[in-house]
Amino acid sequence: MRKKDGSEYHVSSVNSCMFAINRHLNNKSVLSKPINIMDKDQYYKLWQILNGKVKSLVSQGRGERNGADGFTEDDLLQILDHPAMSGNNPASLLYRIFFFNAIFLGLRGGEHFQNFIRRKDKYGGFDVIIYKSKTNQRGANNIESQGDKLYIPEIVPSIIEMYENYFTKRPTQADPHFYLKPCNISEVEFNGQWYHKQHVSEKEIKSFMKKIVTLTGINVDDRKISNHSGWKTLVQILK
């Protein structure tokens, strides 16, 4: 298994290929089902070849996952100080709140799609409860598990004020999703409404972090920036 240019694949790509072949055999072949070509006992020769290939790739440094990169302190200041993140209009307020959620709550990419249950706590900050996260999948095998409670303390009042402003601008009877579609300037001037009742699509939310770095002029050469970058940044800061 090699790419068209003759270079080696990453271990994860080889693994994905094996599972794709396995799915194809289960869905399309005339062989007896179920089939599991990853079964070492049943397909020992195949397992030996795969095991040797993986070890070879790992020795070449092709076994580590290339995850999202975090932001530097200068990046954070540049983003938060940029006019596109001021919070003075619907889009910039939405992006700023998203960035706060990414950096302060350490949300992974998919956790931004959850419905946040927000509660003002006794110290003036916010409790944010997420019922399904990377560490709490809450399936049939763990029905009784509790939601993850994340805490935004009122260390910097201006941060809490930004959240309060966003909650205030949300229209009544809007979708329960946290991120609502922002209105354009003409709509704001016409009826004073900042957000539509409909939520931002999952596909759009996936591109939020990339939009933010583009709007704020962050240099992303040789770096992988995604919604996961917020979580990676929080980990870096805590370490």
pLDDT tens per residue across span 170-217 = 998 888 888 999 999 999 999 999 999 999 998 899 899 999 999 999
Question: What's the pLDDT score for residue 10?
Answer: 87
pLDDT confidence band for 48 (50 / 70 / 90): very high
Q: Is residue 136 part of a domain?
A: no
Residue 38 is part of which domain span? 11-59
Is the domain of 177 the same as that of 216?
Answer: yes
Q: Is residue 206 part of a domain?
A: yes
Q: Is residue 202 part of a domain?
A: yes
Is the domain of 46 the same as that of 86?
Answer: no
Is the domain of 196 the same as that of 169?
Answer: yes
What is the widest separation between alpha-carbon atoms in the chain? 71
pLDDT confidence band for 135 (50 / 70 / 90): low
Over residues 164-172, the mean pLDDT reads 91
Is the domain of 15 the same as that of 108?
Answer: no
Is the domain of 95 the same as that of 31?
Answer: no
Q: Is residue 146 part of a domain?
A: no
Q: Give residues with Cβ within 8 angstroms of 99, minimum separation 6.
A: 79, 80, 85, 209, 212, 230
Q: Report the domain count for the chain.
A: 2
Per-residue pLDDT reduced to its tens digit, 4-35: 898 888 888 898 899 999 999 999 999 899 99
The structure's pTM equals 0.69
Q: Is residue 225 part of a domain?
A: yes
Percent above pLDDT 90 for the chain? 42
Q: Is residue 193 part of a domain?
A: yes
